[in-house]
Structure 1
């Protein structure tokens, strides 16, 4: 037997055995792979594909734009502009490795000023992003080094910056969410009156809050799959809903009139050393508010604007002698007097143990009721109102709108304070005759005087002119409430006549050349910082032109140097009136020929 052949046979036998064993193992492995493949494709394939698709599926919110606020002529006062919130994915950022730029990569690479990034992970992302966002790279790196997949990096980014970020090839790591920034075009013009919005775009003060529901749109959304670069995979959108923008609001406010009135107020506060002033301009025929101003300089949309109620809306005060217009109207309407009735008026009087005095010392004067209004005599009003019951005094003050909601709906607006007559003490029952012991605001006071201009009819005021939806459909807004008759036309005519005599009385200081004016001044003591009656309110309300009423102008000044309303608030009213006559090209007045005598 050949030993070599025996050894060779054993070797081939072992090799065959090993080969067969390996073949069996490979066969088993192949079978397992086939089984797994069949399991994936035939059994779990659908569910695994769905899971993969679900992991790539996102819902993107489509932000609705907030509606614009415009003046009566279409000038934009507030609008939302396209802005973006930049979002980072910390997990993806920390796994980021920059791609070196070569001829083969083209623009799909990362570099800074033509040089390699020089880092990886969140630090690399921060280095690329910092110059575009104008932020510190270290700060950005820290924001991207946290946990989770969502980190706000910067808000209110412009579309131009968003486009630059898109060119950084950081898809899936950094992306932009559409948002809106509220822009106010005129700085402090109507600052507190417009108010502002919070970080979520919700109106929180002023007109922004008052009309928030109208201005707010409805967000939409899109559901689609995104690739590794964060871009939508074409054809994968499964659901979508368009955003509906908020409606635009057009105010009755005239930008030019508002600007001029605010300027005049600020100049007048400086001239008379007054801490603040308020002014209202109202269209007599429509009840539209053309200007609602105060002297406070507050940036619209600022934190201060969001925390401050416009003084023109929220400030209340005793109207002082302007209130004599309401009680005189009541006396004539009740048939107790005519404007031509004659009275002998001393400078002081005592009733039920209470003494009342006029502002100046004088002897017994022979004044008609019209003369009592012209001279603004407190004593004369008490004498003339002797037969007017407390209930009647209360009713006429209230009928003119004092102490009532005017229907405009301003946040923070005060209705003033008018106690019912059964709560009046012995002094209050007489001081109400000359505009004290109750409070009002500038809007109420203006509309009350407008009753005389409108021949005895109280019309509702309006500040929202039209609302236009996202599709451009515009709807005229009617004022809240109905017109109501307060006094007869002939009564209003008598009071208007007497008010024109008041204006003539002040003509040396208060006049609008070429135009007749009917007016009433007021001065009232109010509580000062010390809690005592150490401050005054000076106010003046005018109807212009008196022979063809177009506008009511009311001015209120706090603690002006110069005292009486006719000498301080009066000239300011005239300055505004002159501007209105020129702007609206109102025809000059005809001469006055029917003045009711003021003395006898």
Structure 2
């Protein structure tokens, strides 16, 4: 086969005329089938065969092989052209042939072959070999014929030119561009298609299976409903863990005004069950807009509704009326310690008493349930819909120092004794002298905390901390204690005591006048001698009297734990007037509360050490852990010995046959105490009537408890009014705590030696 010439389409030149420099004629640039020539089976065109026959054997040996037909995709001339070598380089071959072809080659030297130099040389050599062989082999003859045809064509193109041969142009071969691999394209296309389908599949799974907030949240706000998860309010328990008040499960009833068709009819049906006025329910169910301009879909109708009542409400099947979980405050004892515990509002917020004082401890923190609901009146949550829950945190509970049994007995006895003497206000306190714990704190009047709305506000007050009085003669224990501590008197002191004493324009008298006789200090307390007390205060001086009042805790709240505790008031010496040296020592012009005076006597019973009275034993967290409150404040007011001497003197009050406190005697126990008759202070003025009081401790030889009783009655001394109530309360206290009876008899006292 003759060697193939380069693809004619690879020539980048354009146009169909011969080049001016003698090179091969430029193609039309159309390429492909338009440049193809018809070839015979032996590789030559018909025209070339005819020319070969007329030219003779010489022309046949000088023509180069014609290009073969190549048709490729696109018909572009993208193969680089290789400069054709001048025909003169094949002169040796022409010389060897000895024919006219050699001269033709020299004349056509400037003509350039389309074939590469190596191919042209091969064709020339093939032509020479064919001449020598005389047409030996067909293959060699075919090669020579092709070479001659090529040389002939170049010679013809160069005829008529009288120019000298020009050196061939040497061009740098261009890099051949490779055609795309179809298999590679198929693989790349398949990969891209698979990647596209995989992406679509993953996205579909994400939208259908995985959470898609970006789309699911569209319009979500219109389908969300928020329900408050109410935190359970902590309870209040007595010292033994018995509940005084606690929260129980209940229901609240609400309305959706947008769904109620007939508010008047709905209100008429609900009013008897909820205990709310019909007109009030109608107002609550009326349609209204929120500040945002949106129609309100919620209105409270009732809180803390018992479960059975809530079931009856739902049985009415009123569209737009619903119930949800709620709590209500349960008070098992009704009025038991009600004045201490206080009350809560409709939303279980503390309003009075300990409920208000420790509201932040008891209340806890409400939670919230935000969920997606369906298109129904019941706001049914959508299964697997949006749901967010903030758990409620229950409140802590309080354990009080109050003893439930003791509290009940104190309330019963106080109420009976005050009402029997037509009294209006009373208070009774029991204190453990070693710890300062308040074991009972009763008030008269009292109320049922479960129905507190039915009682006036004055009935809900805690008298022990809000009942401000002039203490009267129970204040004398402070003056006698200060006199012992300052050395003004001792337990055996005997003074001549006149029947009266004047201060400024006021005369002070004794109810049991000594008539100038000598009187013991025990007798002075037993008969509540005003004159003796004033004489001791004169020796102390105003400043000492004032200092000991403060040391014993007067003039400021005790900090027991009750909210709104009154501070009382004592006058500094600078504010004393002419009668103050006579009135203040005997307990007038002094404002105190029953609790403050009970703490004074507890200090005397506790060897002169004052301990802050308190109601809170500990706080119980929701997890059951207990936290004790800060330690109570303490201070030594008088020495233990002088405190014992003072108890010795006060025991005469219940021992001397006609003493003021004989009604406070308790069989089997020695009792030390003091009676008093004072005045009630209302808005800075004295109210009509008298405040009878009795404060005592038992057993006197080794006191354990102090009981204080105050009663505001139209008239009557402390011994007559408060004495019997004190006896009942103290006796029950000693027996309740199983205090052994006294083993020694009380001392023998002499009032007038």
Q: 2:217 is matched with which residue?
A: 50
Identify if the C-alpha distance between structure 1 residues 309 and 528 changes in structure 2 by more than 3 Å, giving closer, same or farther.
Answer: closer
2:483 to 328, 331, 334: 331
Does the 8 Å CA contact 2:424/2:445 hold for their aligned counterparts?
A: no
Q: CA deviation at 1:247?
A: 0.8
Identify if the C-alpha distance between structure 1 residues 403 and 129 changes in structure 2 by more than 3 Å, giving closer, same or farther.
Answer: closer
Does the 8 Å CA contact 1:349/1:379 hold for their aligned counterparts?
A: yes
Q: 1:566 is matched with which residue?
A: 719
1:185 aligns with 2:332: yes
How do 1:130-141 residues align onto structure 2 when only pairs under 5 Å count?
Answer: none
1:368 aligns with 2:515: no
Q: CA deviation at 1:174?
A: 3.9
Q: 1:299 is matched with which residue?
A: 448
2:731 to 572, 575, 578: 578
Give the SS at the match of 1:418: coil
What CA distance in whole angstroms lies between the structure 2 residues aligned with 1:123 and 1:51? Answer: 38
Q: 1:499 is matched with which residue?
A: 650
Q: TM-score, normalised by structure 2?
A: 0.65
What CA distance in whole angstroms lies between the structure 1 residues aligned with 2:530 and 2:393? Answer: 59
What CA distance in whole angstroms lies between the structure 2 residues aligned with 1:346 and 1:282? Answer: 37
1:80 aligns with 2:229: no
RMSD: 3.3
Structure 1: which 5+ residue stretches go unaligned?
1-40, 95-120
Comparing both chains, which one has the higher relative contact order based on Cα–Cα distances under 8 Å and sequence gaps of 6 or more?
A: 1
Q: 1:319 is matched with which residue?
A: 471
1:542 aligns with 2:696: yes
What CA distance in whole angstroms lies between the structure 1 residues aligned with 2:322 and 2:401? Answer: 42
1:156 aligns with 2:304: yes
Q: 2:372 is matched with which residue?
A: 225
Q: 1:476 is matched with which residue?
A: 628
What CA distance in whole angstroms lies between the structure 1 residues aligned with 2:233 and 2:215? Answer: 42
* Greater Cα shift, 568-577 or 438-447: 568-577
Deviations 1:468-489 (A, max 9, x none): 11121122334442x1100011
Identify if the C-alpha distance between structure 1 residues 423 and 181 changes in structure 2 by more than 3 Å, giving closer, same or farther.
Answer: same
Q: CA deviation at 1:235?
A: 2.2
* Greater Cα shift, 316-325 or 178-187: 178-187
Identify if the C-alpha distance between structure 1 residues 494 and 277 changes in structure 2 by more than 3 Å, giving closer, same or farther.
Answer: same
Identify if the C-alpha distance between structure 1 residues 594 and 177 changes in structure 2 by more than 3 Å, giving closer, same or farther.
Answer: same
What CA distance in whole angstroms lies between the structure 1 residues aligned with 2:264 and 2:421? Answer: 61
Q: CA deviation at 1:299?
A: 1.9
What CA distance in whole angstroms lies between the structure 2 residues aligned with 1:270 and 1:282? Answer: 24
What CA distance in whole angstroms lies between the structure 1 residues aligned with 2:264 and 2:363? Answer: 40
Give the SS at the match of 2:535: helix
* Greater Cα shift, 513-522 or 281-290: 281-290
1:216 to 345, 363, 367: 363
1:379 to 519, 524, 531: 531
Identify if the C-alpha distance between structure 1 residues 264 and 560 changes in structure 2 by more than 3 Å, giving closer, same or farther.
Answer: farther
Pairs aligned (count): 529
Q: TM-score, normalised by structure 1?
A: 0.80
Q: 2:636 is matched with which residue?
A: 485
What CA distance in whole angstroms lies between the structure 1 residues aligned with 2:274 and 2:644? Answer: 68
Give the SS at the match of 1:221: strand
What CA distance in whole angstroms lies between the structure 2 residues aligned with 1:78 and 1:326? Answer: 38
2:602 to 450, 468, 481: 450
Deviations 1:26-82 (A, max 9, x none): xxxxxxxxxxxxxxx9xxx98775333332122221111111111112222212222
Does the 8 Å CA contact 2:479/2:585 hold for their aligned counterparts?
A: yes
What CA distance in whole angstroms lies between the structure 2 residues aligned with 1:325 and 1:445? Answer: 10
1:70 aligns with 2:218: no
1:389 to 530, 541, 548: 541
Identify if the C-alpha distance between structure 1 residues 543 and 427 changes in structure 2 by more than 3 Å, giving closer, same or farther.
Answer: same
What CA distance in whole angstroms lies between the structure 2 residues aligned with 1:405 and 1:324? Answer: 20
1:345 aligns with 2:497: yes
Identify if the C-alpha distance between structure 1 residues 492 and 152 changes in structure 2 by more than 3 Å, giving closer, same or farther.
Answer: closer
How do 1:185-264 residues align onto structure 2 when only pairs under 5 Å count?
Answer: 185-229=332-376, 230-264=379-413
Give the SS at the match of 2:356: helix
Give the SS at the match of 1:273: coil
Give the SS at the match of 1:568: helix
Q: 1:146 is matched with which residue?
A: 287
Give the SS at the match of 1:496: helix
What CA distance in whole angstroms lies between the structure 2 residues aligned with 1:348 and 1:129? Answer: 72
Does the 8 Å CA contact 1:526/1:533 hold for their aligned counterparts?
A: yes
**Bigger radius of gyration, 1 or 2?**
2
What CA distance in whole angstroms lies between the structure 1 residues aligned with 2:393 and 2:617? Answer: 22
Identify if the C-alpha distance between structure 1 residues 226 and 589 changes in structure 2 by more than 3 Å, giving closer, same or farther.
Answer: same
How do 1:398-437 residues align onto structure 2 when only pairs under 5 Å count?
Answer: 398-437=550-589
Identify if the C-alpha distance between structure 1 residues 85 and 464 changes in structure 2 by more than 3 Å, giving closer, same or farther.
Answer: same
Does the 8 Å CA contact 2:666/2:727 hold for their aligned counterparts?
A: yes
Give the SS at the match of 1:385: helix
Does the 8 Å CA contact 1:222/1:237 hold for their aligned counterparts?
A: no
Identify if the C-alpha distance between structure 1 residues 375 and 154 changes in structure 2 by more than 3 Å, giving closer, same or farther.
Answer: closer
What CA distance in whole angstroms lies between the structure 1 residues aligned with 2:283 and 2:620? Answer: 46
Does the 8 Å CA contact 1:447/1:461 hold for their aligned counterparts?
A: yes
Identify if the C-alpha distance between structure 1 residues 548 and 155 changes in structure 2 by more than 3 Å, giving closer, same or farther.
Answer: same
What CA distance in whole angstroms lies between the structure 2 residues aligned with 1:532 and 1:597? Answer: 37
What CA distance in whole angstroms lies between the structure 1 residues aligned with 2:272 and 2:423? Answer: 50
1:524 aligns with 2:672: no
Does the 8 Å CA contact 1:58/1:226 hold for their aligned counterparts?
A: yes
Q: CA deviation at 1:597?
A: 5.2
Identify if the C-alpha distance between structure 1 residues 122 and 320 changes in structure 2 by more than 3 Å, giving closer, same or farther.
Answer: closer
Q: CA deviation at 1:142?
A: 8.9
Identify if the C-alpha distance between structure 1 residues 357 and 130 changes in structure 2 by more than 3 Å, giving closer, same or farther.
Answer: closer
Does the 8 Å CA contact 2:251/2:306 hold for their aligned counterparts?
A: yes
Give the SS at the match of 1:85: strand
More strand by share: 1
Q: 2:64 is matched with which residue?
A: none
Identify if the C-alpha distance between structure 1 residues 52 and 166 changes in structure 2 by more than 3 Å, giving closer, same or farther.
Answer: farther
